Amino acid sequence: MRQSVRGQVDPFIVMDVMESARRAEAGGQHIIHMEVGQPATGAPGAARAALQARLAEPLGYTVALGLPELREGIAVLYRDCYGVDLDPARVVVTPGSSGAFMLAFSALFDAGDRVALGEPGYPSYRQIMRAMSLEPVGIQTAPENRYQPRPNEIPTDVQGLMLASPGNPSGTMLGLDDYRGLLDRAADLDVSVISDEIYHGLSYGARCHSALEVSDDVYVINSFSKYFSMTGWRIGWMVVPQDHIRTIERIAQNMFICPPHASQVAALAALDARDECDALLATYAENRRLLLEALPKIGFDRIAPPDGAFYIYADVSALTDDSLSFAAEILDHAGVAVTPGLDFDPRRGATTLRFSYARSTDDIAEGIARLTRFMDQR
């Protein structure tokens, strides 16, 4: 049977690394997981309790844009965190942020449209675009610009621009002036902007800023996966301009029917569990401190400044020009799973690695010890 050309997307390499780590664990090896951006803890206790209390009731279809009370709760979050007065009608609850990307790309672009995105960046942006017959256009961001695009780097022949703050894999963030410059330039070029803010709430110093603090003429995507530790629940959200609501609603009705009802129940309760989530932030902050202290001492000394998220992105060009093989060597000989940069940057990723510090502090300390022994013997 024939297969579509647009379906021939690249693999998500970190998932392949996870599978290699799983096979090693099945063979009896103990692996320290520093490859995937998944919090070590589960959903907040209040979220799990709320779902447990509802399990005896029918959990069927909800309206396509999500439970009204959840959309209202997310709007309150924007008021509390950013001082943005947000109409809940503009909030769209989605099946994870991945569902939000599909809705956004469907609503904003036609087949053949070109969408610019910073490299390094989240690999699934490119692959979802390709599967939807869009053309991703990489912007080779510079270390001196903290791996974030600058206004003058936006191509003049694109229809869209993806932004991410905090970025994955770099953890670097955009400030309000950065957003103003990028959004103003995009408006001049008639370029639609999508801002991925999935790691908001995870920052170590200055707070995260939202593109919504600068403009309403932008799509903003977020999720309960990271700050709220709800990766497997597959529940996210998107904020869209007022005149795009009905378009998104029609696509969502047909593409997804609705987000998972059970996950929406849990997400609503999670909004009131921010004290518990902030306690996890303290764990990530300690993990970050340990890695920033240890990695330069053992040879990983060219690091992007990780302002947020829970990643450290390291230039390892002095150590290898084959990050895929280097990551496999670290897994085999050190028992530590890390992600080769090829996932994030097709052109320069052969000389970079990403280290995730989303696990427990004990795991991170053990990972550092193993990496130290590995590098000493290499």
Domain check: are 267 and 279 in the same one?
no
Overall average pLDDT of the 21-27 stretch: 91
What pLDDT, on a 0 to 100 scale, did the predictor assign at position 222? 98
Residue 319 covered by a domain: yes
Cis geometry, peptide bond prior to residue 120 (ω within 30 degrees of 0): yes
**Considering the chain, what is the average pLDDT of its residues?**
96
Is 48 inside a domain boundary?
no
Angle at which helices 96-108 and 245-255 pack, to 10 degrees? 120
To the nearest 10°, report the CA torsion of 282, 285, 286, 291.
160
The residue range of the domain holding 153 is 57-272
* pLDDT value of position 224: 98
Q: Which residue has the tokens 């600058």?
A: 150
Give yes or no: residues 185 and 229 share one domain. yes
Q: 300 and 279, same structural domain?
A: yes
Shared domain check, 114 and 208: yes
Is a pLDDT exceeding 90 seen at residue 13?
A: no
Query: Looking at the structure, do residues 122 and 220 belong to the same domain, yes or no?
Result: yes
Instruction: Give the per-residue pLDDT at 346.
Output: 93
Same domain, 310 and 193: no
Alpha-carbon distance of 143 to 134, in angstroms, equals: 27
What mean pLDDT is predicted for residues 20-41? 91
**Would you say residue 153 lies in a domain?**
yes
33 and 122 fall within a common domain: no
Q: What is the pLDDT of residues 219-272, one digit of tens each?
A: 999 999 999 999 999 999 999 999 999 999 999 999 999 999 999 999 999 999
- At 343, the pLDDT band (50, 70, 90 cuts) reads confident
The verdict on 37 and 112 lying in the same domain is no
The predicted pLDDT at position 15 comes to 86
- Out of 249, 272, 295, a domain closes at 272
User: Is it the case that residue 18 has pLDDT exceeding 90?
Assistant: no
Q: Which of 272, 306, 338 is the last residue of a domain?
A: 272
Q: Specify if 283 maps to a domain.
A: yes
Q: Supply the pLDDT for residue 203.
A: 97
Split into its structural domains, the chain has a count of 2
Q: Which pLDDT score, from 0 to 100, does residue 11 have? A: 80
Structure tokens at 154: 């936006």
State whether 88 and 221 are in the same domain.
Answer: yes
Q: Pick from 362, 365, 370, 366: which is nearest to 334 by CA?
A: 370
Q: What is the CATH number of the domain that holds 133?
A: 3.40.640.10
Model confidence band, residue 50 (pLDDT cutoffs 50, 70, 90): very high
Whether residue 244 sits in one domain with residue 304 = no
Q: Would you say residue 19 lies in a domain?
A: yes
Instruction: Look at residue 16 and tell me whether its pLDDT is greater than 90.
Output: no
Do 82 and 30 fall within a single domain?
no
% of residues, the chain, pLDDT over 90: 92
